[in-house]
Every structure is written in structure tokens, then in C-alpha cells.
A and B are shown apart, each in its own frame.
Chain A
Amino acid sequence: MSQHIGVIGLYVRDQDEALAFYTQKLGFTVHTDARNGSYRWLTVKHGDQPGFELGLFVPGPPTIDEATAQTLRAAVAKGAMPPLVMIVDDVHAAYAKMKALGVEFTQEPVARFGSVDASFRDPSGNGWKLNQERRGAT
């Protein structure tokens, strides 16, 4: 695949905290962790999608002025950022594993719409939906 999405970024409140969460609890691995002064470009990748980077960025100067950054951090903490969806083979199994690791679930697995879904948040407040392929889907 030569043409695809390379990076999509999330805003997080603390990059160390986010890195620990996404690697230790969700199983991502570090793709790039580059610092320049106080600026840190940090992305992680998922095992099955090595060409896609999920950026874990803190909104703030110098890329974003402090007042705007504060608004963005508040939006993240209020759960106002757009939904994220993670596809797994088995939502019940993923739920049990992640729950044991201390992931904050906001909805337990529910079977509906021909699938099973659950919801969790990262420490910053970003909301994820956990979903599995519909049975019979290819």
C-alpha cells in the first residue's frame, strides 16, 4: 500500500502518562520519540498497522499559544474530542485483559447491531470505542 494515512494525532495532557498507557495497557509500541528542547514529537504504532502512526501530542507553545492550548486541554478533559474506534478480534477478551490492567471502561461489552462493543477512555479523557467485526463480515 503506497498511499495511506501516515499520522493522526491525539491531544493528551501528559506525554509520559499517555506513552505508558498506550504501550503498557493497549499494546502499542513507540514509532518515534524525538525531542527538541521542550518540544516532543511522540508517536506510537499498532502491531497490525506498522505504517500508521498515532501521535500523542500536548497542545502548547510554541506550536499553539497558551490560551488556545488551555481550551484544547479542557476539551480533552471534558471528553469533547472526536470518537476513536479500535477493532479487535474479541471484545470480551480485550475487555477482560484491559480491565485487569486498570483501563477505565465507561461501558462494559454489549452485544448489539450484529457485533459487540465496549467503551474506554485514556487518562487524558479521549474516548475509545472497542469493536469487533460483525459476524459473517469479511
Chain B
Amino acid sequence: MQDEELLRRLLRAKDRMDAASQEEWPVSRLARVSAVSEAHFARSFKEAFGLPPHRYLLTRRIERAKALLRDTTLPVSEIAFQTGWKSLGTFGRTFRDVTGQSPGDLRAREKATPHDLDSVPGCYVHAAHRPDLTIAVSEKRRKENGGTDSSSNTEVP
């Protein structure tokens, strides 16, 4: 089991990503927040929270994009920009890979579905819509394509 004091410092890095998921969070920056060496950070974070830091960040960005699609009328391109993507194409592709539908389709479906979460604090409603990304996006993509996708193994973002 990991040292509690280390876990508390790793939580600080997770909190910082939560607070500003649209920002860039390279390992060097996260490691500094946690006062851990860069060499140990990613492994320690994954051991503590069950997924690597960059994938955790991705779940937060997708969660936020979903909320903005549902709760606002902002154009998809603006939502992509606000949630930290530099390219609309990458956002759309990643969003579809993670959620199984395009941003536009999700928006149309959400708007057509009544919700009864009005009495739950907003941040917890958002958390309930966070994708459960237990495997890498590239892996998910490969599986859904029947293992024929030979594109990059690099995870996004």
C-alpha cells in the first residue's frame, strides 16, 4: 500500500487537473504539484487512482464537454476549445471514441431526454456523467474496429 502522505500529495495533482482540465498538464507540472520526481509520478498516480494521469485528464475534459453540450448552446468548436483541445477534428474523433457518439448527436439526444437531477448539486451530476475509461482510447478504438486499426498507439491528449 502507498504511503498516505504521498497519496495526499498525489490527490493535490488530481485536484489541480479537476480545477483546470482545459490547461496542459505535462508530467513535469503534475510532479511538481505533488512534490514527486517525474520518474515516479505517472506510476504512483496510476497506482493510486487506477488510471494514468493523462487519461484521467481526458475523462475530465470529456465530462466537461458533455456538460457544455447539454447545458449550453455554445458551438461545438467553442466547446472543443474551452475544454482544452487544439483541433476540432481531434476533439470530435476522441469524443466519439470515448462516448460512442459524436458531440452533435450527444447534444441532440440529451436535449430530447428529460432529467430529474435538479436537486443534486451540479458538480456531482457532472461526475455521474464522467466516462469510465478503463482502457486507453487507442485500445478502445482498436477493439471497436475489430483489431484492424493500425493507427498510432499514442494516447490523447
- In the assembled complex, how far is the CB of residue A101 from the closest CB belonging to chain B, in whole angstroms? 18
What residues of B have a CB within 8 angstroms of the CB of A13 in the complex?
4, 8
Nearest chain B residue, comparing its CB with the CB of A129: B121
What residues of A have a CB within 8 angstroms of the CB of B11 in the complex?
77-79, 121, 125
What residues of A have a CB within 8 angstroms of the CB of B15 in the complex?
79, 106, 121
Question: CB distance B7 to A74 under 8 Å?
Answer: yes
A124–B110 alpha-carbon span in the complex (Å):
38
Question: CB distance B1 to A70 under 8 Å?
Answer: yes
A129-B123 contact, Cβ under 8 Å, with A79-B14, A107-B19: yes
Interface: B89 (CB within 8 A): no
What residues of A have a CB within 8 angstroms of the CB of B12 in the complex?
104
> A51-87, CB under 8 A of B: which get 1 and which 0?
0000000000000000000110110111100010100
- For chain B, give the interface size range: 10 to 19
What residues of A have a CB within 8 angstroms of the CB of B8 in the complex?
13, 77, 124-125
Question: CB distance B4 to A106 under 8 Å?
Answer: no
Interface: B104 (CB within 8 A): no
Question: CB distance B48 to A117 under 8 Å?
Answer: no
Which of A76, A78, A124 has most B Cβ within 10 Å? Answer: A78
A74–B48 alpha-carbon span in the complex (Å):
9
Interface: B49 (CB within 8 A): yes
- In the assembled complex, how far is the CB of residue B32 from the closest CB belonging to chain A, in whole angstroms? 16
> B16-34, CB under 8 A of A: which get 1 and which 0?
0011000000000000000
In the complex, number of A-B residue pairs with CB atoms less than 8 Å apart: 49
- In the assembled complex, how far is the CB of residue A133 from the closest CB belonging to chain B, in whole angstroms? 13
Nearest chain B residue, comparing its CB with the CB of A76: B4
Nearest chain B residue, comparing its CB with the CB of A127: B15
A78-B48 contact, Cβ under 8 Å, with A70-B1, A106-B18: yes
A28–B3 alpha-carbon span in the complex (Å):
30
Docked complex: A88-111 residues within 8 A CB-CB of B: 104, 106-108
User: Of B1, B4, B49, B121, which contacts A131 at CB under 8 A?
Assistant: B121
- In the assembled complex, how far is the CB of residue A77 from the closest CB belonging to chain B, in whole angstroms? 4
Chain A interface residues (CB < 8 Å from chain B): 13, 70-71, 73-74, 76-79, 83, 85, 104, 106-108, 112-113, 117, 119, 121, 124-125, 129, 131
Can you name 18 A-B pairs with beta carbons within 8 Å? A70-B1, A71-B1, A73-B4, A74-B2, A74-B4, A74-B7, A77-B11, A78-B7, A78-B10, A78-B48, A79-B11, A83-B124, A106-B19, A113-B121, A113-B122, A121-B15, A124-B8, A125-B11
